Chains A and B, each alone.
Chain A
Amino acid sequence: MRRPLAGRITALLAAGLLLPVLAACGSDDDDNNGSGSADGGDAALVIYSGRNEKLVKPILDKLEKAVGAEVEVRYGDSAELAAQILEEGDRTKAGLFFSQDAGALGALSQEGMLAKLPQTTLDKVDQAYRSGEGDWVGLSGRVRVIAYNPDQVAADEVPDSVHDVVKPEWKDKVGFAPTNASFQAFVTGMRVLEGDDATRKWLEDLKANGAKTYAHNLATLDAVEAGEVSLGLVNHYYWYERVAEKGEDKLDSKLHFLPGKDPGALINVAGAGILADNGEQRATAQKAVDYLLSEEAQTYFADTTKEYPLAAGVTSTVEGLPPFESLESPDIDLGKLESLQETLAMLQDVGLV
């Protein structure tokens, strides 16, 4: 009696498993016909926010009033939300994707999931900080910097280039977060600027020089604070947020903004794109993007999240933050940071992730 039972169950399971799979393969084409509005009726705007709720909820609450429609926000991780939107395809619930970095927006853009933005919206932001395809726009800027511990390094000894941190005098004294999206975007930027061979060599040198890896930028900054490492490759706003939380006099670390268009001074953006398949949310989403570029919202990013406002005419008033114009970041097309996959392969090859 055993074989037939096993056979029966195998057949049942296999059939049950295969059916939806086969149907899925076949249904990709059928589903495309006007299913986006299958839900119907409710025109509330759904925002998938890869930006942390703690940081952006206040401004999104104001956004709800500004656009005059109900707004639902789904908070998550930028990369995971992008994967979710890709999996949802044309039936996505999202009307607007508010991403922590350009890479996740680029991935959606590449799959043709983002709608073109009107030129008036795009023109509010320098073209260096928006999509070349015109389907997403940067809202706030974040700069790569070197955090240092003044107890261990004098201010004038801090390297002016990431190329210097692989030198022998910094052996075992550098911290960084190899799995962090900003670090990976910076490595991608270095590949675009200096080529794959030079970048691979730099990564190998960094590893050979005993640089210490951390889970994220905050952990890296904490390590600099604690004197575990002397230098940390981080984004600028973490330090300013710590200052806001603890007070500057309680912080041991300082920041160094790199001069000379060094790849280590890359400016990345947090930005937003409108989902092309969600027609009924389109108008509200458009209003939302314009609101996020308004003076009120841009001032919020400057004051609260300590980032650089990107809309023309708004400047940061955070104490001690160098003016945006004074930053000597490398000239790079953020749209070109999409080749993250090669960066990851390289990081894996070198053994850093």
Chain B
Amino acid sequence: MAAPRPVGQPTAPAAPPPAEGFAGGGADRRPPLVLLVPACAAALFALLPLGYLAVRALERGPAFAWEVVADERTLDLLGRSLGLTAVVVAACVILGVSLAWLTVRTALPGARAWSVAATLPLAVPSYVAAFTWLSAEPDLAGFGGAALALTLVSFPYVQLPVAAALRGIDPAQEEAARSLGHGPLRTFLRVTLPQLRPAAGGGALLVALYVLSDFGAVSLMRYDTFTRAIHTSYRASFDRTPAAALSVVLVVMTVALVAAEARTRGRAGHARTGGGTARPAAPVPLGRWKPLALLWCGAVVAVAVAFPLGTLGYWLTVGSSATWDLGGLTETAWATLGVAAAGAALTTALALPVGVIAARHKGRGARLLEQAAYAGHALPGITVALSLVFFAVRYAYPLYQRLPLLVGAYAVLFLPIAVAATRAAVLQAPPVLEDVARSLGRRPWQVLREVTLPLAAPGVAAGAALTFVVCMKELPATLLLRPTGMDTLATRLWTETGAGSFAAAAPYAAALILLAAVPSYLLGRHRT
């Protein structure tokens, strides 16, 4: 669905971005209370794990915590985690930007189908990807295998926002650049790319945080990172203090990453007032590059989608432990859809005020809120889960091991995904319309309801769909916080593979991927 196209003066082509964000927008205005209060509540909620980590890390005094953190092994883990993150992020940016550009802006045959196929890897849990690769090629274990598996499941985090941004860019700017004598490459580098930077940067940030928090792939690939060390620490000593101290380091890394991403955003605000040229950009002819472009798309889809599905198919047909308990499968699938939908709804609701403030208000306060929302995202699921056990047992005991708490855990874990989507969507809505509404005497909540949200709705919905997919795949927090007796496809998968029956696990993995593919498919078709 296209956003309602506002009427107004077309902006001058290739106009430089206004110096202070979007001029006239609410940049200097304080966020209204109607946004500020729920945003602070959401941020507080997201900061719960941090409170828990403080309690646990300092349990035996700051000296002990420092001893854990200052160990030379911490530096080693830091290097390994950052190295893996850097490689995966770089690979995801290359894959994501190239696929987005090829499918949105060129005359690639079957562009729409490729764009949908390229989002499907989102539906593959990292542990399933790692397992399928490992079962085919055991020598992949280690850095290379971990980087491969993580890249293949997370490049859509870059591809989706970049594709959306490409569709939103006013082609008149590029045409103007061409008319001024710039070649196509130069135009891409000078005009198009800078406008993609916020989208690519935001996606890259999500990928980075995902890599830092992932346990499944690095564990199967036997590549030691912070997450794996934190797990080992829980497992080996049942001692939560060292695990908490290490987790604090992860939080610090998160904040550094979020801050770094905020810097690369620069002043890029790319809302346009008015319709600009009310037509899509003319597709770039690929000419003799066409076979190469097709090969590139085909190769990515083959390794990221066809390969894991093929391996699962193999297990389904070959393994002797494969049993089709259709009743159980259906019941589990419904339960999974239910909690994932609830998780996506709560996460989106909490993300809305934070995302709007992050898009519309500059300054330290807005940044602080956004950074708070990101705090829990790089933490391993088990850390977030234990923190919610800690808080729920003390302050919300009636909720403990009930659905609301599980849904709350999803919100803490995935808030950044929804915040990023909301922020990007609001950024593309012209702030001047809000000013007009305000000047007509609308109250802040009316402006929000009548102007901002309708304009941002498609992007917010896309964020909700993405959150829905990641909730479906979540494992460690689900294991600890689900109501006793409830199962999701991910926990069934865990149960079956834990007993070594990969064939019995395959139907659950297949169901998970197929169900998660639906919103991924919708995301791929999504047009801003």
Contact = CB atoms under 8 A, between A and B. Distances in A.
A127 B232 CA distance: 30
Interface stretch (A78-86, A316-324, A326-334): A78-86
Contacts of A62: none
B264 interface: no
A3 B363 CA distance: 8
A344 B240 contact: no
Contacts of A16: 40, 44, 47
Interface stretch (A49-57, A152-160, A201-209, A282-290): A49-57
Given A24-B55, A54-B496, A80-B479, A344 B237 contact: yes
Contact of A17 (B36, B47, B236, B393): B47
A55 B499 contact: yes
Given A21-B51, A54-B498, A87 B390 contact: yes
A93 B364 contact: no
B193 to A, nearest CB: 31
A126 interface: no
Contact of A76 (B73, B235, B479, B501): B479
A43 to B, nearest CB: 15
A181 B235 contact: yes
Given A5-B365, A93-B400, A245-B320, A84 B389 contact: yes
B262 interface: no
Contact of B239 (A54, A80, A89, A341): A341
B363 A245 contact: no
Interface string B39-83: 010011001001100110000000000000000010000000000
B91 interface: no
A342 to B, nearest CB: 9
Contacts of B365: 2, 5-6, 8-10
B302 to A, nearest CB: 25
B410 to A, nearest CB: 18
Kindly name the residue among A25, A87, A226 whose own CB sees the greatest number of chain B CB atoms within 10 A: A87
A1 B394 contact: no
A104 B238 contact: yes
B369 to A, nearest CB: 6
Going nearest first, the 7 A-B pairs with the smallest beta carbon separation are A6-B364, A54-B499, A107-B238, A5-B365, A344-B236, A79-B235, A2-B363
Contact of B54 (A3, A13, A21): A21
Nearest to A78: B235
Contacts of A103: 238
Interface stretch (A115-123, A162-170, A213-221): A213-221
B240 A13 contact: no
Contacts of B362: 2
A344 B232 contact: yes
A73 B495 contact: no
Interface in B13-54: 28, 30-31, 36, 40, 43-44, 47, 50-51, 54
A75 B484 CA distance: 8
Interface in B493-528: 495-496, 498-501, 504
Q: Is the interface of A mostly helix, strand, loop or mixed?
A: helix
A128 to B, nearest CB: 23
B449 to A, nearest CB: 23
Contact of B51 (A20, A72, A214, A215): A20
Contacts of A348: 73
A180 to B, nearest CB: 10
Contact of B138 (A17, A20, A223): A223
A31 B394 contact: yes
Contacts of A8: 365
Contacts of B31: 5
A72 B362 CA distance: 51
A77 interface: yes
B188 interface: no
Interface of A: 1-3, 5-6, 8-10, 12-13, 16-18, 20-21, 23-25, 27, 31, 38, 46, 52-55, 72-77, 79-80, 82-84, 86-89, 91, 93, 103-104, 107, 179, 181, 184, 213-215, 218, 223, 226, 228, 238, 241-242, 245-246, 340-341, 343-344, 348, 353
Interface of B: 28, 30-31, 36, 40, 43-44, 47, 50-51, 54-55, 73, 138, 219-220, 222, 224, 232-240, 320-321, 362-365, 368-369, 372, 382, 386, 389-391, 393-395, 397, 400-401, 476, 479-480, 484-485, 495-496, 498-501, 504
A74 B5 CA distance: 52
A41 B500 CA distance: 39
Contact of B401 (A20, A93, A107, A341): A93
Contact of A340 (B73, B236, B364, B479): B236
Contact of B234 (A80, A91, A228): A80
Given A53-B495, A93-B401, A87 B389 contact: yes
Contacts of A5: 30-31, 363-365
Given A20-B394, A54-B496, 13 more contacts: A2-B364, A9-B36, A12-B40, A79-B235, A80-B382, A82-B238, A83-B234, A84-B386, A88-B393, A181-B235, A241-B500, A245-B321, A344-B237
Contacts of B480: 76, 80, 84
Contact of A184 (B40, B236, B500): B236
A213 B138 contact: no
Nearest to B382: A80
18 contacts: A1-B30, A13-B43, A17-B50, A21-B55, A46-B484, A52-B495, A53-B495, A54-B504, A76-B479, A79-B234, A83-B240, A84-B480, A87-B386, A88-B393, A214-B222, A340-B237, A341-B236, A344-B237
B476 A10 contact: no
A66 B397 CA distance: 31
Nearest to B389: A87
A55 B501 CA distance: 11
A344 to B, nearest CB: 4
Nearest to B495: A53
Given A73-B485, A74-B484, A238-B500, A226 B138 contact: yes
Given A86-B238, A348-B73, A80 B476 contact: yes
Contact of B40 (A3, A9, A89, A181): A9
A138 to B, nearest CB: 18
Contacts of A93: 400-401, 484
Contacts of B390: 24, 87
Nearest to B44: A16
A104 B236 CA distance: 9
A177 B30 CA distance: 56
B522 to A, nearest CB: 33
B386 A38 contact: no
